[in-house]
């Protein structure tokens, strides 16, 4: 049974690249990857924060947050449109 | 034929965690992962820099560098023991 992986992003160029490259590079037999666009789903920002996400793009693997390069701070998304 | 992935680290706690979690989460049918400890193999720091690595831990996937959280700057490793 695959473990849960969540890739949080905000549509920025750094995010899109990381999604295409890294989020899709995970072993599909081990990880069930969900892609979450926090700009379109701002109601999930709290969940990302609770997992330790401070900026996007970030990948949460079985509850641990891994920030991948830097696209935007979560704080900016909160204030954004 | 798997593409080349290189995980650069320096033995720091952040590095070890990222190695165990992320470097080993890649799809083994798509990626051949090499683990490089830059503290033990300082002669490979130049190669990491050329790939765009500025800090460790970092994962280079088919030539593109992805910094994962932050353990240590490459510059610190150059000056180190």
**Cα distances (Å, whole numbers) of residue B39 to B33, B45, B59:** 18, 9, 16
- ipTM score: 0.89
pLDDT, tens digit (0-9, with 9 covering 90-100), for B11-59: 999 999 999 999 999 999 999 999 999 999 999 999 999 999 999 999 9
Question: Is A25 in contact with B18 (Cβ distance < 8 A)?
Answer: no
The overall pTM is greater than 0.90: yes
The nearest CA of chain A is from the CA of B69 a distance in Å of 5
Full 3-state SS string of B8-26: EECCCHHHHHHHHHCHHHE
Backbone angles phi, psi at B78, to 5 degrees: -65, -40
pLDDT, tens digit (0-9, with 9 covering 90-100), for B8-20: 999 999 999 999 9
- The partner residue sitting opposite A26, judged by closest CB among B26, B68, B69, is B26
């Amino acid at each position: 049974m695959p473990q849960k992986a969540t890739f949080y992003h905000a549509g920025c160029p750094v995010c899109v690249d990381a999604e295409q490259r890294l989020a899709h590079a995970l072993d599909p037999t081990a990880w069930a990857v969900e892609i979450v666009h926090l700009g379109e789903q701002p109601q999930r920002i709290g969940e990302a924060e609770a997992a330790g996400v401070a900026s996007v793009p970030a990948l949460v693997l079985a509850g641990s947050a891994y920030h991948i390069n830097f696209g935007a701070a979560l704080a900016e998304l909160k204030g954004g449109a």
